[in-house]
Amino acid sequence: MIHGEIHQNVRQYINGRWETSATTGVSANPSDTSEVVAEYARADRRQVESAIRAAADAFSHWSHSTPQRRADVLDRIGTELLARKDELGLLLAREVGKTLPEAVAEAARAGQVFKFFAGEALRGGGENMASVRAGVQVDVTREPVGVAGLITPWNSPLAVPATKIAPALAHGNCVVFKPAELVPACGWTLAEIISRAALPAGVFNLVMGSGREAGQALVDSPLVDAVSFTGSARNGERILQAVAARRAKVQLEMGGKNALVVLADADIDHAVDCAVQGAYFSNGQRCTASSRLIVEAAVHDAFVARLRERLKALKIGHALERGVDIGPLVDEERLARSLAWVGIAREEGAEHVWGGEPLQRATAGHYMSPALFLARPGHRIAREEIFGPLACVLRAADYDEALALCNDTPSGLSAGICTNSLKHAMHFRRHAEVGMTMVNLPTAGVDFHVPFGGRKGSGYGPREQGRHAAEFYTTVKTGYMLA
């Protein structure tokens, strides 16, 4: 396998300048661990604080920039992302291990998000209404919040940052962006494109470093007015406490234990497709992955048999190899954790159906066969987020039990149902306790222009994406005037 280019100049972007740091780190290709993807600077607390100060200083100017100016900047970024989607997808596939088609699609999505928010910068507006008092006029306007600290995970290293950076800038905020440690090349490349989009110095800043130091500095700073975090529930909970304690705005997008319900009247082949895509593509390393497959008793055995055949036929290998369905897990630690879940499933008495083995390929990478178990509702594999290629099937007597099982979780991100019954589809859309429902579609795979997010333990604060992003990235002002 030919190694790709090493990104060596991966530095912080603070107040319009590229800065090195005292310490450095590397990211490696999970499909071939002998390949270094990036050598990058790791920001310390002092550097993050200087990025925050730069953003705070730039705010008075940027918050009063014209909508046209903001739209032009975002449009330019979106245009470049779309034009370079193949190259960026290749980088993403090398750094995270998503297959090339998935990675290119993510790069394109990041571009579409910037294009959408270029439009939002122009569409933003307020309300004008009659006062209840004679001779008084009232209007409701939206203003930017201030400095937005944006903290993102490794699993969608272009799309998730785009979903935060684009609305923050569109609505007139200044940004300090901290990507996850595993994906510095993706974070830096996005920042490099943004750095050439004619933004005033300090409006957008990149700090790469650990969550404990660089991330925590954003959470703690009194100059950061809004923190948007996507990541694990454990870190989200800590961030919520810290940010709420100093009364700044906070938005959390966290994990899920998403269910796909399969009813007896469903097209079973299509349901199996939905399960394979939702549970196993990207190795289940998606917050919307369907790690619970809840199947009505009448079709349970047929569904499991067909799913097993599909899993046997999947091609697991190097993310850049043509025809590969699933690449490697992102790193050694996540592979070890997923294999440990296979051990837990066996120990708690779940019935093994297929997979769950480490795999050897021509290059040294973090490969594993997709694992399927039959479980009971109390099993840990049916209750906790795994974030790996392991799903379990739960048997339900009928639709009512399937819905009850679906909702029997502290999470509430995405839920799907495969059925040909309009009655059950409509009921499910109304009664699934989640932020997003899918009928005859996988639980993962969403549009970029409509709200994204969850309820219960999966999310906190206003939704991301679409027009709803304004709820987080603006603050409302009510103005009265004697006419």
Q: Closest separation between CB of residue 462 and ligand NAD, Å?
A: 13
Q: What would the two tokens of residue 419 be?
A: 């059925």
Name the residue among 466, 462, 464, 459 with its Cα closest to residue 475. Answer: 462
245 touches 214 (CB < 8 A)? no
Q: Closest separation between CB of residue 94 and ligand NAD, Å?
A: 18
Phi, psi dihedral angles at 352 (to 5 degrees): -75, 130
Q: How far apart are the first and last CA of the chain?
A: 73
Q: What would the two tokens of residue 62 be?
A: 């940027």
- What is the DSSP track for 106-138? HHHHHHHHHHHHHHHHHH---EEEE-SSTTEEE
Nearer to ligand NAD, 280 or 303 (CB): 280
Nearer to ligand NAD, 21 or 419 (CB): 21
CA 240 to the chain's CA centroid = 18
Nearer to ligand NAD, 153 or 365 (CB): 153
Q: Closest separation between CB of residue 204 and ligand NAD, Å?
A: 17
Name the residue among 24, 59, 30 with its Cα closest to residue 42. Answer: 24
Q: Closest separation between CB of residue 5 and ligand NAD, Å?
A: 24
Who contacts 339 (Cβ-Cβ below 8 Å, separation ≥6)?
A: 356, 358, 368
Who contacts 116 (Cβ-Cβ below 8 Å, separation ≥6)?
A: 166, 448, 449, 466
Name the residue among 191, 239, 183, 232 with its Cα closest to residue 215. Answer: 239
Residues acting as catalytic residues: 253
Q: Closest separation between CB of residue 141 and ligand NAD, Å?
A: 29
Q: Closest separation between CB of residue 426 and ligand NAD, Å?
A: 26
- State the angle between helix axes of 399-407 and 422-431 in degrees (0 to 180), rounded to the nearest 10: 20
Nearer to ligand NAD, 173 or 235 (CB): 235
152 touches 209 (CB < 8 A)? no
- For the chain, how many residues are written? 483
Nearer to ligand NAD, 240 or 418 (CB): 240
Nearer to ligand NAD, 153 or 370 (CB): 153
| Order of strands across the sheet that contains 136-144 | 127-130, 136-144, 474-482
Q: Closest separation between CB of residue 256 and ligand NAD, Å?
A: 6
The contact set with ligand NAD (CB under 6 A) reads 151-156, 160, 178, 180-181, 211-212, 215-216, 219, 230-232, 235, 238-239, 253-256, 287, 385, 387, 413
Helix (H) or strand (E) holding 302: helix 297-313
Nearer to ligand NAD, 12 or 419 (CB): 12
66, with CB counted inside 10 A (0-12, 13-18, 19+), is exposed
Q: Closest separation between CB of residue 392 and ligand NAD, Å?
A: 17
Helix H segments across 84-220? 85-96, 100-123, 159-170, 184-195, 216-220
Distance CA 354, CA 308 (A): 6
Nearer to ligand NAD, 89 or 187 (CB): 187
Amino acid in the structure at residue 351:
E
Residue the block writes with tokens 């190097």:
318
Distance CA 428, CA 437 (A): 8
Q: Closest separation between CB of residue 117 and ligand NAD, Å?
A: 17
Nearer to ligand NAD, 49 or 296 (CB): 49
